[in-house]
A and B are shown apart, each in its own frame.
Chain A
Amino acid sequence: MSIRPIFAALRKHKLAAGLLALEIAVACAILCNAVFLIRDRLAQMQVNTGIAENELVWFSADGTSGDAATPIVERNLAALKGLAEVKAVAVVKSLPLSNNDMNFNATMDAAGKVSTPNMQMLIGTSGYLQTLGLKLVAGHDFSADDYAGIDAWQPQSSSMMVTRALADRLWPGKSALGQGFYVDKKRYQVIGVVDHLVRGELRGIASEYVALCAARPSENLSSLYVLRVDPAARDRLVREGSDMLIRLNPDMLISQQGTYGELRSSYFASDRALAWLLGVICVALLVVTALGIAGLASFWVAQRRRQIGIRRAMGATRGDILRYFQIENFLIVSFGIALGMLLAYVLNVTLMKFYELPILPLYYLPIGAVVLWLLGQLAVLGPALRAAAVPPVVATRSV
């Protein structure tokens, strides 16, 4: 079947067809960008924190002050360890994605000339690597002597570990073991490399720039208790753990507590919210576009009943009529998509002003095109079938 008569007919409805194409174009631009944003958010939400997420329970308290902090916190840890189904316990300075981290810059030389990128320092008490479930890829764990005191915020022990990402950044192509950097003239030396560990907040490529140190509990390391537990017992241990801490320390204020899953989920609350919102907008957009196509097509069918009858009377099959409307829709949607690809890029550039967003990948465009073509065909199917059902006898009746 030739396309020429369809073009000729469309020229009679330039404006209506143009509006439909414009609508498809705007829908195409929004869809591509919204889906891109959603995927960007979802990708962030998949981040591997490097810890045993579904086995962790935590309590954030106001901390213990004075010299008695060490024995008190050690007693608390021992009591928590004694609870059923608790595998390991520790006090740490912060947790990944807790929006709370201790950041610092070090220097690569004693003279303080070459500085490192900004890093996070994570400090924990005895056995915290096992408690968090961190995986060592080189070197060995801290020794008992490494769990020493803390001056101001700096651990006294010079042993530290780094994440693989940080090791690759500071000593590319070399083994990190035995290397070191300086903080305020004090040298810290790498004794181990950790596979993955994310900071208190995501910072792009610097998200895993973490140095890990060891210290015994003290005033400066007494507020964040972490328990590694049997996943099935997590909720119970959140209750039992806080009851235990309050019983042992009646003055203690536990400001926050929960499973690690809850902490992670609250970190991504805004990303999830945006993804949902955009998802709803996308669905609404698809529905509205489909309704628009179907509505206008129905109208055209009703308007052309007589012409359809004539065509049928002159020998056109039902299939011919059906295909006529399908091809017409395909042409309009194609115009819309062509314009929409342009609009998609304009919108992308506009969004980039507000937003740290990469440029829209090219492969979104053909996917968007296919989706809209399918949507168009689906929407036009009903009206087109109704058109095909118009009997030839209509041609003989006056309107």
Chain B
Amino acid sequence: MFRYYLGLGLYSLRRNPALTALMIVLIGAGVASSMITFAALRAITADPLPAKSAQLFVPQIDNFGPVNGTPDGEPPLMLSYIDTMALLRAHRAEREAALYPVRFSLVPAEVTHAPFTVQGYAVTGDTFAMFGVPFLYGSDWSKKDDTEGSNALVISRRLNEKIFDGVNSIGRTVRLDDHDYRVVGVANDWNPQPRFYANADIHDVSEVGEAPDFFLPFARAVNQQMTSRWGNFCPADDYSKDSDWPAMLQSECVWISFWVQLPTAAVVQRYREFLDGYAAEQQRVGRFHWAPNNRLHNLLPWLDYVHAVPEETHVSFLLALGLQLVCLVNTIGLLLAKFMRRRGEIGVRRALGASRRAIYAQFLTEAGMIGVVGGALGLPLTIFGVSSMGSFFEPRVARLVHVDVSLLGLTLLTAIVATVIAALYPTWRAAQVQPAWQLKAN
């Protein structure tokens, strides 16, 4: 029977080629517009670390106070060195990561090569296990390297290919600025997007893109007085300490991203209490002149909190959905007109014994055919739109967006489902046709 309906549908669609083409274009354009913007939204709101995100939290401690802080009373996004060290010493979380970005010029061993800039992070030892950084060669550095701040270095696969032609480079030396580092590990591709761990600068264009070139021990970077690429954020009283390193370490300037791994809700609650206790203690000893004002965000809420998703992405998705809605309403109108014009035909079929169900099946099949062809038109439109997204979306979003099978499948599915939904009412009307009345009228 289905094949018969396909035949009937094909015949009917061919009888009005212009109208059929119009509906196909509407479906195709509508579904493509929403799929293109959906691809952007999906890319940018994807969980950067699906396996771990549920357990990763950012503690924030208000060490600025109501006078120096932001008008909305939110604590700084990063921690001061004092608080970082206190939290690391207390060690109340399963794992803790303190990190900040640094930049060097890398001087290649061959004198013929010009030095080039490399960007990476100074991190504490837990970071690798906590963020699930995979290793191609070697591993992370030892506990001793971590506490003493040795010259151990983990480099990215890309950097390893660039300076060591991709061979196992464990034990080799890399010269960064004026110091030699020994490679202890080569990280395999690890580049979660957006860079959630870049607390200060998730919006920054420079924080999206290639994987970090290297990681070095946090203690090393501090001992060597390496400044953060983000700069420091200091309350007004501490402006003068900004460029005096020892004074800066003792100041309230914030510059360190701090992350903790908390496996269960109970542990999260305990950590919250610990933070409040810590802040209350700081208030008691006179460092804070205000009540504890802490935050502990989980990774995904954190991305919301720092507005990691450019608002453009939401707005364009919403408006594209509107466009698809218009296309659908349009399709409903056209289908209604088309189906109602065939009252006579319906009347004859019903009089010859076709049930209402059969009418439903026939007309929904016809609509489904339009949906399939419309979706097929939507596919190249979607592919074209996504690949030319660089000119529509800003580069940082465009770089993340790609076409994959699931997107194409969704395009086709949306087109068919949307068309069938659009056809429901016209089909219902068609099924209501009274055969006797139609036969008499003709």
Q: Are A255 and B334 in contact (CB under 8 A)?
A: no
Indicate with 1 or 0, residue by residue over B197-212, a CB within 8 angstroms of chain A CB atoms. 0000000110000000
Q: Are A62 and B29 in contact (CB under 8 A)?
A: no
Any B CB within 8 A of the CB of A90: no
Q: Are A30 and B322 in contact (CB under 8 A)?
A: yes
Closest B residue by C-beta to A219 = B243
A273 and B312 in contact, given A299-B341, A303-B341 (Cβ under 8 angstroms): yes
From 336 to 358 in chain A, residues with beta carbon under 8 angstroms from any chain B beta carbon are 347, 350-351, 354-355
A200 to B312, CA, bound (A): 21
Q: Are B330 and A288 in contact (CB under 8 A)?
A: yes
Any B CB within 8 A of the CB of A274: yes
A232 to B374, CA, bound (A): 51
A100 to B110, CA, bound (A): 34
Residues of B with C-beta under 8 A to A303: 337, 341
Any B CB within 8 A of the CB of A212: no
Any B CB within 8 A of the CB of A37: yes
Minimum CB–CB distance from A380 to chain B (whole Å) comes to: 14
Minimum CB–CB distance from B338 to chain A (whole Å) comes to: 7
Which single member of A152, A273, A351 contacts B392 (CB below 8 Å)?
Answer: A273
Any A CB within 8 A of the CB of B25: yes
Residues of B with C-beta under 8 A to A83: none
Closest A residue by C-beta to B390 = A273
From 1 to 56 in chain A, residues with beta carbon under 8 angstroms from any chain B beta carbon are 15-16, 19-20, 22-23, 26-27, 29-30, 33-34, 37
Binds B, one of A132-140, A160-168, A290-298: A290-298
Q: Are A278 and B240 in contact (CB under 8 A)?
A: no
Q: Are B394 and A269 in contact (CB under 8 A)?
A: yes
A33 to B310, CA, bound (A): 18
Closest A residue by C-beta to B330 = A292
Binds B, one of A74-82, A189-197, A279-287: A279-287
From 253 to 291 in chain A, residues with beta carbon under 8 angstroms from any chain B beta carbon are 253, 255, 269-270, 273-274, 276-278, 280-281, 284-285, 288-289, 291
Q: How large is the interface on A (under 10, 10 to 19, 20 to 34, 35 or more residues)?
A: 35 or more
Q: Are A288 and B117 in contact (CB under 8 A)?
A: no
Q: Are A269 and B395 in contact (CB under 8 A)?
A: yes
Residues of B with C-beta under 8 A to A15: 336, 425, 429
A253 and B337 in contact, given A29-B322, A153-B243 (Cβ under 8 angstroms): no
Q: Are A16 and B336 in contact (CB under 8 A)?
A: yes
Any A CB within 8 A of the CB of B244: yes
Residues of A with C-beta under 8 A to B314: 354
Any A CB within 8 A of the CB of B413: no
A27 and B25 in contact, given A62-B105, A105-B236, A303-B341 (Cβ under 8 angstroms): no
Q: Are A288 and B26 in contact (CB under 8 A)?
A: yes
Residues of B with C-beta under 8 A to A354: 311, 314-315, 318
Which single member of A20, A152, A270, A300 contacts B242 (CB below 8 Å)?
Answer: A152
Any A CB within 8 A of the CB of B323: yes
Any A CB within 8 A of the CB of B19: yes
Main SS of chain B's interface residues? helix
Minimum CB–CB distance from B427 to chain A (whole Å) comes to: 13
Q: Are B336 and A270 in contact (CB under 8 A)?
A: no
Any B CB within 8 A of the CB of A115: yes
Q: Are B19 and A299 in contact (CB under 8 A)?
A: yes
Q: Are B332 and A295 in contact (CB under 8 A)?
A: no
Residues of A with C-beta under 8 A to B30: 288
Q: Are A253 and B330 in contact (CB under 8 A)?
A: no
A258 to B325, CA, bound (A): 44
Any B CB within 8 A of the CB of A171: no
A23 to B336, CA, bound (A): 14
Q: Are B337 and A299 in contact (CB under 8 A)?
A: yes
Residues of B with C-beta under 8 A to A105: 236
Minimum CB–CB distance from A262 to chain B (whole Å) comes to: 14
Closest B residue by C-beta to A102 = B231
Any A CB within 8 A of the CB of B316: yes
Residues of B with C-beta under 8 A to A251: 105, 115
A281 to B393, CA, bound (A): 13
Minimum CB–CB distance from A154 to chain B (whole Å) comes to: 8
Residues of B with C-beta under 8 A to A235: none
Any A CB within 8 A of the CB of B420: no
A281 and B334 in contact, given A253-B116, A288-B326 (Cβ under 8 angstroms): no
A285 to B311, CA, bound (A): 22
Indicate with 1 or 0, residue by residue over B226-247, a CB within 8 angstroms of chain A CB atoms. 0000000000100110111000
Residues of B with C-beta under 8 A to A19: 329-330, 332-333, 336
Q: Are B319 and A30 in contact (CB under 8 A)?
A: yes
Any B CB within 8 A of the CB of A184: yes
Q: Are B392 and A295 in contact (CB under 8 A)?
A: no
Any A CB within 8 A of the CB of B136: no
Minimum CB–CB distance from A399 to chain B (whole Å) comes to: 9
Closest B residue by C-beta to A104 = B239
A16 to B330, CA, bound (A): 9
Residues of B with C-beta under 8 A to A395: none
Any B CB within 8 A of the CB of A375: no
Any B CB within 8 A of the CB of A183: yes
Question: Among B25, B242, B318, which residue has the most Cβ atoms of chain A within 10 A?
Answer: B318
Any A CB within 8 A of the CB of B10: no
Minimum CB–CB distance from B26 to chain A (whole Å) comes to: 6
A153 to B242, CA, bound (A): 8
Q: Are A355 and B242 in contact (CB under 8 A)?
A: no
Any A CB within 8 A of the CB of B327: yes
From 12 to 40 in chain B, residues with beta carbon under 8 angstroms from any chain A beta carbon are 18-19, 22, 25-26, 29-30, 33, 37
Residues of A with C-beta under 8 A to B394: 269-270, 273
27 A-B pairs in the complex with CB atoms less than 8 angstroms apart: A16-B333, A19-B330, A19-B333, A29-B322, A30-B323, A104-B236, A107-B236, A152-B243, A154-B240, A253-B116, A255-B117, A276-B391, A277-B37, A277-B312, A281-B316, A281-B323, A285-B323, A288-B26, A291-B22, A291-B330, A292-B329, A296-B333, A303-B341, A351-B318, A354-B314, A354-B315, A355-B315
A residues near B (Cβ < 8 Å) are: 15-16, 19-20, 22-23, 26-27, 29-30, 33-34, 37, 62, 99, 104-105, 107, 112, 115, 152-154, 183-184, 220, 251, 253, 255, 269-270, 273-274, 276-278, 280-281, 284-285, 288-289, 291-292, 295-296, 298-300, 302-303, 347, 350-351, 354-355
B residues near A (Cβ < 8 Å) are: 18-19, 22, 25-26, 29-30, 33, 37, 105, 115-117, 204-205, 236, 239-240, 242-244, 310-312, 314-316, 318-320, 322-323, 325-327, 329-330, 332-334, 336-338, 341, 391-395, 425, 429
> Apart from A99-B204, A354-B315, what 11 extra A-B contacts exist at CB < 8 Å?
A16-B333, A115-B236, A220-B243, A251-B105, A288-B330, A291-B22, A299-B337, A299-B341, A303-B337, A303-B341, A351-B315
